[in-house]
Amino acid sequence: MIGAPVPEIADMVVGHASAVTRAVAPWATGAQMPNFAPSYDPARPARVYHEDTLHRLAALADRYDPARVLATGQVIRAT
């Protein structure tokens, strides 16, 4: 969001930014970028992806990398 908090509209900018933040909250990842920040933290995928997406990504990894060659970054696998 971009808004110039100049005196004439400062309250409106803050109010609109809050409204946008609330509207997109269901898709928030806690300020983590799932595709651009590799991690070896096994709990991280559940924080940035919905359960359905995790299952889909694990199925794709199993289908296209059955030998588990891809081992860097955030490769989602079924447990």
pLDDT grade for 52, boundaries at 50, 70 and 90 = very high
Q: Which of 70, 34, 64 has the alpha carbon at shortest distance from 49? A: 34
Which two three-digit tokens encode residue 64? 């296209």
Q: What's the burial of 26, exposed, middle or buried (CB within 10 Å: 0-12/13-18/19+)?
A: exposed
Residue 47, SS3 per DSSP: helix
Q: Is pLDDT of 29 > 90?
A: no
Q: What is the pLDDT of residue 72?
A: 67
